[in-house]
């Protein structure tokens, strides 16, 4: 990978990781469902005037948009509204990797490799440690909601996977249309017109900057560069960069919000990130490498 491509991948991980701090700051002013609705509105407009709609069925765009917009981000924003800290949210939501593997096994008949099972057990152990150390800023409900957001992300992965190689930026922009009315309706139903008006009236320049950053930085820049890199490098080269998301998330939360990093949280983080890392390793490929090493040594 060229140095420029390496730093672009690093920049995307920094954006996606520190984004959890930005979410935390925005939902201190805006109700979470309203915040999610505004995020997808700005992700769709005005980009839809400049980005071509991909040649995929409308049901596919709608399913992906609702799973990601409502199931992932809507639920995640609710969880982060006093139910889970930004650092832990950035870590726990990455369990989507294992939900994706599970859905692949269930829906496509893919076989789970022993190393993937070991990776899942390691990461699940980390989540269990988090559950056993629930504190004031994190609740069981917050943990479960964040896991649900990860599962919705995984389901969205399965929907987008049906399309093969497409323009991912266009797919993200046009799928953003579908969660907008649902999120606004849910916001009016559960958060109420009073809370919505109060949030909009209290919003300041920093709040709107956070909303715009969600749409432009996190979505258009992040997914645009990510898909651009995947088109130019093997997935095995690009995908491991995602391990840096919770590192940036935990680091930013500690530095900017003063989120504590006790030993149990460090151990849990190491287990989840370690599980994700092991999950990227192909056990069969390792076996071939070891076999070649053994033959070389014998010679």
Q: Measuring CA to CA, which residue among 274, 172, 158 is closest to residue 222?
A: 172
Instruction: Give CA separation, 218 vs 72, 125, 146, 208, in Å.
Output: 14, 29, 18, 14
Q: pLDDT tier at 35 (50, 70, 90 boundaries)?
A: very high
Q: Does 293 have pLDDT greater than 70?
A: no
Does pLDDT of 294 surpass 50?
no
pLDDT, mean of residues 102-106: 77
Q: DSSP readout, 63-99?
A: HHHHIIIIIIIIHHHHHTTTTS-HHHHHHHGGGHHHH
108-116 average pLDDT score: 72
Q: Report the pLDDT value the prediction gives residue 230, as an integer from 0 to 100.
A: 67
Structure-block tokens of residue 19: 């984004």
Comparing 69-83, 112-126, 195-209, the range with the smallest average pLDDT is 112-126
Question: Per-residue pLDDT for 157 more than 70?
Answer: yes
Full-model pTM:
0.80
- DSSP letter at 54 equals P
* Residue 292: predicted pLDDT: 41
**Per-residue pLDDT at 236:** 55
12-21, 31-40, 46-55, 266-275: range with lowest mean pLDDT? 266-275
Task: Please report the pLDDT score of residue 240 as a whole number.
Answer: 65
Contact 96, 265 (CB under 8 A): no
CA 296/CA 4 separation, integer angstroms: 36
Is 239 buried (19+), middle (13-18) or exposed (0-12) by CB count in 10 A? middle
**Contact indicator for 143, 130 with CB cutoff of 8 Å:** yes
CA distance linking residue 46 with residue 249, whole number of Å? 29
CA of residue 228 relative to chain centroid, distance? 18
Rounded mean pLDDT of the chain?
82
> pLDDT by residue (tens digit) across 137-152?
788 899 899 999 989 9
């Amino acid at each position: 990978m060229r140095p420029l491509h390496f730093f672009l991948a690093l920049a995307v991980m920094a954006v996606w990781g520190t984004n959890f701090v930005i979410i935390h700051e925005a939902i201190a002013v805006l109700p979470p469902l309203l915040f999610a609705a505004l995020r997808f509105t700005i992700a769709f407009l005005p980009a839809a005037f400049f980005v071509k709609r991909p040649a995929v069925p409308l049901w596919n765009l709608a399913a992906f948009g609702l799973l990601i917009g409502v199931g992932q981000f809507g639920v995640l924003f609710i969880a982060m509204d006093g139910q889970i800290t930004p650092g832990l949210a950035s870590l726990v939501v990455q369990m989507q990797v294992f939900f994706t593997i599970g859905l692949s096994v269930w829906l496509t008949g893919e076989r789970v490799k022993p190393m993937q099972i070991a990776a899942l057990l390691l990461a699940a152990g980390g989540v269990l440690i988090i559950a056993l150390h629930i504190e004031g800023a994190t609740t069981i409900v917050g943990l479960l909601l964040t896991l649900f957001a990860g599962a919705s992300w995984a389901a969205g992965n399965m929907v987008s996977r049906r399309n093969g190689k497409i323009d991912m930026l266009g797919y993200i922009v046009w799928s953003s249309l579908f969660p907008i009315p649902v999120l606004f309706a849910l916001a009016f139903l559960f958060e109420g017109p009073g809370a919505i008006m109060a949030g909009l009236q209290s919003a300041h320049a920093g709040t709107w900057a956070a909303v715009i950053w969600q749409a432009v930085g996190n979505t258009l820049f992040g997914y645009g560069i990510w898909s651009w890199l995947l088109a130019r490098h093997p997935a095995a080269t690009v995908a491991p960069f995602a391990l840096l998301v919770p590192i940036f998330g935990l680091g930013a939360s500690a530095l900017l919000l003063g989120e504590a990093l006790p030993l149990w949280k460090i151990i849990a983080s190491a287990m989840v990130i370690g599980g994700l890392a092991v999950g990227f390793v192909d056990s069969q490929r390792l076996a071939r490498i070891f076999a070649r090493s053994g033959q070389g040594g014998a010679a």
